[in-house]
């Protein structure tokens, strides 16, 4: 059958946190377009140079680039790839392209889960977020602090903030989300594929709800 999950939701709804945990438990690869882009920016490769200014401003990267990155990822994974998609698709054009990519491979539509939180919650989660520079594990200064300040519990490496986690950029990311990504939520809802969960509760409760859906 294959495990294919798409996590939709506003910035800081917990897509990355939950995708990482699900990936470990279900042994299915986690794909985050945001993380693929940040890695490319760090490497300063062609994709990195193209996307950098969009990410810095909190704007979505153009569809053509984003779709190509996901298509490449899928192509490297054989005939029936499994995945937990985090942050893609987030425009109607991306959703249409993604539906086609799966259709062409003869794959059934994915489980699409909408993790929702309020914009106030998004803001406070983002402004306290810390990520491990080595393993990518996510923390929050107040909501899930590391045992030792500034250091990853899992691997002992340094924690840092994302460059796009400023109040100004978050407001733009929320604007982009409202105008471009909410229609994707409606797209999957109208196809009868959408499942919705409350992302405003503790991490373990969100995880349990997701795992239940994944195992249905
Ligand atoms: P991306 O990296 O996808 O950012 P985002 O969508 O804004 O989402 P975040 O990563 O900020 O939040 P998250 O939902 O992963 O939450 P997290 O688990 O970290 O995209 C970045 C940029 O890349 C975009 O702005 C755009 O430019 C570009 N891009 C990416 N994909 C694109 C696409 N498809 N098309 C075009 N452009 C694209 O959690 C957040 C914080 O909250 C953490 O500190 C965490 O510890 C904490 N937390 C998590 N869960 C809980 C909980 N239940 N209770 C309390 N705290 C919690
Ligand atoms: Mg994320
Ligand atoms: Zn780490």
* pLDDT (tens digit per residue) in 77-88: 988 999 999 999
As for ligand 1, residues whose beta carbon falls within 6 Å of it are: 9, 11-17, 33-34, 37, 54-55, 58-61, 66, 87-88, 90, 94, 125-126, 128-129, 138-140, 143-144, 173, 202-203, 206
Of the pLDDT bands very low, low, confident and very high (cuts 50, 70, 90), residue 141 is very high
Q: pTM surpassing 0.85? A: yes
According to the model, what pLDDT value does residue 1 have?
A: 67
Check whether 2 has a pLDDT greater than 90: no
- Rounded to whole angstroms, the Cα distance separating 139 from 45 reads 28
Q: How far is the CA of 32 from the centre of ligand 2 (A)?
A: 7
Residue 171 known to be catalytic: no
Class of residue 116 by CB neighbours under 10 A (exposed 0-12, middle 13-18, buried 19+): middle
Nearest to 122 by CA among 10, 6, 8: 10
- Rounded to whole angstroms, the Cα distance separating 44 from 41 reads 5
pLDDT tens for 155-178 read: 999 999 999 999 999 999 999 999
List CB contacts of 139: < 8 A, sequence separation 6 or more: 129, 130, 131, 132, 145, 146, 152, 159
The upper half-sphere exposure of residue 199, i.e. CA atoms within 13 Å in the direction of its Cβ, equals 26
């Amino acid at each position: 059958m294959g495990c294919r999950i798409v996590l939709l939701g506003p910035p800081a709804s917990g897509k990355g946190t939950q995708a990482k945990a699900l990936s470990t438990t279900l042994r299915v690869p986690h794909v985050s377009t945001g993380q693929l882009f940040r890695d490319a920016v760090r490497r300063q490769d062609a994709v990195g140079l193209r996307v950098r200014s969009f990410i810095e401003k909190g704007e979505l990267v153009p569809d053509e680039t984003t779709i190509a990155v996901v298509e490449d990822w899928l192509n490297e994974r054989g005939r029936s790839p499994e995945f937990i998609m985090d942050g893609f698709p987030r425009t109607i054009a991306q959703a249409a392209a993604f539906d086609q990519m799966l259709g062409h491979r003869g794959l059934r539509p994915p489980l699409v889960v909408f993790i929702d939180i309020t914009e106030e919650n998004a803001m406070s989660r983002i402004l306290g977020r810390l990520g491990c520079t080595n393993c990518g594990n996510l923390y929050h200064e107040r909501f899930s602090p590391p045992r030792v300040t500034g250091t990853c519990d899992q691997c002992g490496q340094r924690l840092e903030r994302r460059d796009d986690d400023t109040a100004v950029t978050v407001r733009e990311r929320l604007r982009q989300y409202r105008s471009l990504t909410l229609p994707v939520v409606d797209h999957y809802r109208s196809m009868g594929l959408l499942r919705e969960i409350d992302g405003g509760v503790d991490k373990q409760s969100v995880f349990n709800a997701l795992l239940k859906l994944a195992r249905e």
